[in-house]
Amino acid sequence: MYVYGSCFKTVESADLTTEDVNANLLTLSKGKHCVGNNDQQFLELSLDSKTAYLEKEPYETIRHVQCSLFLENSERCPACQKYRGTLRKKVSSNKAKLPAAKVDASSHTPLAVLSKPELMLRCQNLAAQHKSDSAKLKALRAKIEKSISKNGIQVSEETGRMLQTAINNELLNGIENMNPVKRLFLEQQIKQASCKSANGMRWHPTVIRWCLAMRRRSTSGYEFLRSTTTSLPHSSVLNDYAQYRECGTGIDYAGIAKLAEQYGECDIAVLCDEMKVKDGLVYERNTGKLVGYADIDVESALSTPPGEQQIATHALVFMIRGLKTNLKLSAASYATTTATAEQIYVKFWELVGALELYGFRVRCFIADGASTNRRFIQLHSSDYPDDPITHRAVNLYHPDRDIYFVSDVPHLVKTTRNNYENSGANLNTRRLIVS
């Protein structure tokens, strides 16, 4: 007797009675059809034709080649049930091979290419991942503390020092063939762990430079690394190395003098730009003053009553660059509310005088095309009244040498791009014709 092409029962025809036929038919009517593996996640897999096949009628399902099709009790035959585990492994393997989505916490997609909704999802996933990791870390820490309290053995202070020394020696022996920088870092970690207090640690200069470079890239990243797994110098320690001289507004005579010793007499360019800064007052504990007021016009600031002084919203910066050397320095800076052309004129020539005094030859002045800068250049038109366009000025400290005015090339390129971009499209503020 065959059911769905498979032998269900073998009966000799001579011995077959009406009762046997009725009993077999009753068994068949109570039996079930094997459902196979009809899960949607399984139907999308590629199958090995020697092991299983996809049946499409009366519904799609995956059956093992040894499927019995007809069952008396359960809904799935042993062969299909066993093959179900293999299908689950294939699904898990395929998920592991899929690339991480752009908004996943483990994604390496740059934030600059994500849209605002994607950025919000990315932040939510990162927050959820951080919460999950924190919970795992807390549980692991509690498990370790419980294990120590239950199985730990308290030793004397002398024995503890001996064990610490032995462990440190073993660690040092294991890093002999390591990269010198990595070895130094691990040696510093071992040394810090053996110190009784943080004040007793003297960090190697290479580690200090590495920490300064890391903190410069990301202050929050450095503090996170320092507060979690790695022993690193405190920010106050790094400040002692980074701030080797006091910073303030005005001309940086100390920086100019140091560059003069290093480079000697050389040709330089003066760059000028004004940038928006966060307004507010800050207490400077070294001098006991409140920093944050506009100070580019000293006479006006001194004559203004204390309650009426203006808080700076911009910073005017003069930078010097060597024309034939790698020299560069922020030579002067001023807190402003937006500098005028006359104020830039005064501060520029003060800086030129200081630079010429230290042996630097100022050859040109570079700035963007802001209206204030154009007005500043026009203030020098009387030096060469016959020039159709004011592009140079007499050096007040060396009349035999001119100072030339140069437009900032990146700013010109950006302006040209914006004009083309907004010509007949986008902002639609231009109607340029290219011939």
How is residue 65 written in tokens? 């080649």
What sign for the dihedral angle of Cα 24, 27, 31, 34?
A: negative
Distance CA 220, CA 227 (A): 10
Q: How confident is the model at residue 64 (pLDDT cuts 50, 70, 90)?
A: confident
Distance CA 62, CA 41 (A): 11
Residue 301 has pLDDT above 60, yes or no: no
Mean of the pLDDT values across residues 334-343? 91
How high is the pLDDT of residue 342? 92
Distance CA 16, CA 384 (A): 128
Residue 322 has pLDDT above 90, yes or no: yes
φ, ψ at 193 (rounded to 5°): -65, -30
Residues 185-243 have pLDDT tens digits of: 888 887 887 777 777 788 888 888 888 888 888 888 888 888 877 888 888 888 877 76
Residues 125-142 have pLDDT tens digits of: 889 888 999 999 999 999
Distance of CA 133 to the CA centre of its chain: 20
Mean of the pLDDT values across residues 303-307? 63
How high is the pLDDT of residue 332? 93
Residue 391 has pLDDT above 90, yes or no: yes
For 293, the 3-state DSSP assignment is strand
3-state SS of 346-369 is: HHHHHHHHHHHHCCCEEEEEEECC
Q: Across the chain, how many H-helices and E-strands are there?
A: 14, 15
Q: How confident is the model at residue 390 (pLDDT cuts 50, 70, 90)?
A: very high
DSSP string across 310-334: PBP-EEEEEEEEESSS--EEEEEEE
Better pLDDT: 184 or 346: 346
- Lowest mean pLDDT, pick from 101-105, 143-147, 348-352: 101-105
Instruction: Read off the amino acid at residue 347.
Output: K
How high is the pLDDT of residue 181? 80
- Lowest mean pLDDT, pick from 185-194, 206-215, 283-292, 411-420: 283-292
Q: Which residue is listed with tokens 């294991």?
A: 174
Provide, rounded to the nearest whole percent, the portion of the chain with pLDDT above 90.
26
Instruction: Read off the amino acid at residue 39.
Output: D
Torsion of CA 267, 270, 271, 276, to 10 degrees: 140
Query: Would you say the pTM of this structure is higher than 0.75?
Result: no
Residues 14-41 have pLDDT tens digits of: 566 777 666 766 666 666 778 888 888 8
User: HSE of 347 in the Cβ direction (CA atoms, 13 Å)?
Assistant: 29
